[in-house]
Amino acid sequence: MQRAPRPPRRSTTPTSDSFQSTESLPGTPTTPNHPKPLYLCSPFVEAALVKGNFKHIVAQPKYADVMEWVAVNILDFYQNLNQFYGVLAECCTQQSCPTMTAGPTLNYTWINQDRKSVQLPAPTYIDYVMTWVQNQLDDENEFPTKSGRDFPQNFPSRAKHIYRQLLRVFAHLYHAHYPQILHLRSEPHFNSLFAHFLAFGKEYDLLDVKDIKGQQGAAVGIGALWERWKEMGILEA
Ligand SMILES: [Zn+2]
């Protein structure tokens, strides 16, 4: 399930405000009447490889350093998500996804080198994010793997920044490509990966509620899934 090698293009390093979400359509009503997405419908919303609550899975092992534990898990989430995206990439094209959608009225925009907020096709946007994350994971100064090397002081904020970008990739895949995930019969695996990601992110303070749910008029589709999973006891309320 390896994704095709990415072209060696580099984006400008996204800063925290490089990923502002905007309402895509100025005339969009604030309470649009959209059909319920499939991922919120039974039986898909319950589909999972892991049954029960994720609380124990995300618990820090007794002798592990917390930063090491966060780093290892981020690497794991990134690799799993990258594999899913590799499979779904043929459906996520400039034509099918001319913008980085994540909800009926939500498009993430990219801040380019001139500090202008621009719409990018989702595959380009995701490629920028994944390349940027990969480069950090490969950097021994940022993600030390050798014993005796300390994590940089800004590791918590960097980890949080990475986490927020990966959340956006999940948000796009759920919003735009869930039918393909169902077609591949991957929804139990994908749901469990995402529920694990959310549980871990909440436990280690890597996620803000506003990033999961979005804002009024620009709600993130997966915000409703997060709420549903809390009601179902899959995630901590
Ligand atoms: Zn797409």
- Has 91 been labeled as part of a binding site? no
Quickly name the fold that domain 34-232 has.
Answer: Butyryl-CoA Dehydrogenase, subunit A; domain 3 (1.20.140)
**Residue 170, pLDDT score:** 98
For 92-115, write each residue's pLDDT tens digit: 999 999 999 999 999 999 888 899
Quote the ligand 1 centre to 144 CA distance (angstroms).
32
Check: CB of residue 208 under 8 Å from CB of residue 69.
Answer: no
CA distance 108 to 124: 12
- Ligand 1 mean position to 179 CA, how many Å? 12
The answer to the question of whether 161 is labelled as a binding residue is no
d(C-alpha 18, C-alpha 9), whole Å: 18
- Give the model's pLDDT for residue 31: 44
> What is the 229 CA–ligand 1 centroid distance (Å)?
24
Whether residue 177 is annotated as binding a ligand: the answer is yes
Out of 42-56, 129-143, 199-213, pick the least confident: 42-56
Cα(128) to centroid of ligand 1, in Å? 14
Ion ligand 1: residues, CB within 5 A, are: 92, 97, 122, 176
> What's the gap in Å between 209 CA and the centre of ligand 1?
23
Asked if 173 and 181 touch (Cβ cutoff 8 Å), the reply is: yes
What does the pLDDT read at residue 55?
85
Q: Distance from CA of residue 50 to its chain's centroid?
A: 19
Pick the more confident residue, 34 or 18: 34
Query: Distance between CA 171 and CA 122 in Å, rounded?
Result: 11
- Predicted local distance difference test score (pLDDT) of residue 56: 86
Q: Provide the pLDDT for residue 8.
A: 41
Q: Using 50, 70 and 90 to split pLDDT, how confident is the model at 45?
A: very high
CA of 81 to the centre of ligand 1 (A): 14
pTM of the model as a whole: 0.86
Q: What is the mean pLDDT of residues 61-80?
A: 94
Which of 107 and 147 is assigned the larger pLDDT? 107
CA of 29 to the centre of ligand 1 (A): 24
Per-residue pLDDT reduced to its tens digit, 154-205: 999 999 999 999 999 999 999 999 999 999 999 999 999 999 999 999 999 9
Give the separation between CA 230 and CA 237, rounded to whole angstroms.
5
CA distances from 101 to 10, 172, 206 (A): 22, 6, 22
Report CA(67)–ligand 1 centroid distance (Å).
32
| Ligand 1 center to 103 CA (angstroms) | 12
Q: Report the separation in Å between the CA atom of 130 and the middle of ligand 1, taken as the mean of its atom positions.
A: 14
**Average pLDDT in the 24-39 region?**
60
pLDDT (tens digit per residue) in 47-70? 998 887 888 889 999 888 999 999
User: At 166, which amino acid appears?
Assistant: L
Whether residue 17 has pLDDT greater than 60: no
Q: What is the CA(160)–ligand 1 centre distance, in A?
A: 24
- The average pLDDT across 79-85 equals 97
CB neighbour list of residue 165: distance below 8 Å, 6 or more residues apart: 14, 19, 129, 132, 133
